Amino acid sequence: MNDALDVVLRLVAVLVVFLVFPLLVGQTEHKVMAHMQGRLGPMYAGGFHGWAQLVADGVKFAQKEDIVPADADRRVFQLAPAVALLPYLLVLIAIPVGPRGFVGETVDAGLIFVLAVMGIGVLGSLMAGWASANKFSLLGGLRTAAQLMAYELPMLLAAASVAMAAGTLSLPGIVAGYHWWWTLWQLVGGLVFFTAGLAELQRPPFDMPVADSEIIFGAYTEYTGLRFALFLLAEYAGIVVLCALTTVLFLGGWHGPWSGSAGWVWTLLKTAVLAFVVIWLRVSYPRLREDQLQKLAWTVLIPLALAQIALTGVVKVVTS
């Protein structure tokens, strides 16, 4: 009975995080961009520092008509937002937040599990582009597929370097084996992992699949109302997952002063700082062209990830 109650409480906690944290990231993005670009709406909506902006967006999406194009594949079109969103819920279950079992569920090969499930989320965009019966949507879906193939490899290679260093594929095991000098040793791998993750999420400056100045809004062109809102929520959930994974793999997770009692605070703080960096990059850099995106992945990130793996192997042999 106690075991069943423990499982239920863990799942409820993960669900609450999944429902709340992406909304917090969305509200933070509104506020940060408002400060950086002088946007009035997110600064004044509701009368107290723009607190009602997120509520207004939610009401706007709920009021919009749900339209399915006449020539669209209805089932695939309607299923795509859920396919894009739900994998991030499964990933959150396996990410450790603190020591002594502070995780939804410990998975022995947790690193392989989370990377595999994150790859499924991109299929939502492919399904949306194919099912919309729209040439702009299809072009956005094809760009998404090309971007996934290009950036999945450096992301996996960078994560493999950390697994080699820790000697385990378990996420809690990787954090438990962390030493402070790992941050410098695995710095290149961390940058590669974070950059590739941004590209998979199609966040600026890697947002060619949704380039509004060229293909309207890519695979999501035909979506309205709550279905479109689910795609936006999937993007923010992806930001939470990417920042949490980068924290666990490369920044020591819960390690910090008083980590025994406040380890979860360090995990959340590091994740929040990385989420701010994601928002900052959106405001700071222009969109890369498609050829620049591919060149960055194949000629820069993949060689850097391979070099990081080689360095990890050398250090492991020398230290052992």
Amino acid in position 133: A
Stretch 233-254: mean pLDDT: 92
Structural domain includes residue 49 = no
Structural domain includes residue 193 = yes
pLDDT band at 2 (very low <50, low <70, confident <90, very high): low
Structural domain includes residue 295 = yes
Structural domain includes residue 52 = no
pLDDT of 170 higher than 80:
yes
Report the alpha-carbon distance of residue 316 to residue 218 in Å, rounded.
Answer: 45
Structural domain includes residue 19 = no
Report the alpha-carbon distance of residue 36 to residue 277 in Å, rounded.
Answer: 13
pLDDT at position 161 is: 93
Domain total in the chain: 1
Q: What is the pLDDT of residues 79-97, one digit of tens each?
A: 999 998 889 988 998 899 8
Q: How far is CA 161 from the centre of its chain?
A: 20
Q: Closest Cα to residue 62, out of 270, 296, 230?
A: 230
Structural domain includes residue 145 = yes
What is the extent of the structural domain holding 244? 25-32+69-319
> Within 13 A of 198's CA, how many CA atoms are on the CB side?
25
Structural domain includes residue 5 = no
Structural domain includes residue 286 = yes
pLDDT band at 1 (very low <50, low <70, confident <90, very high): low
pTM: 0.91
Report the alpha-carbon distance of residue 103 to residue 248 in Å, rounded.
Answer: 12
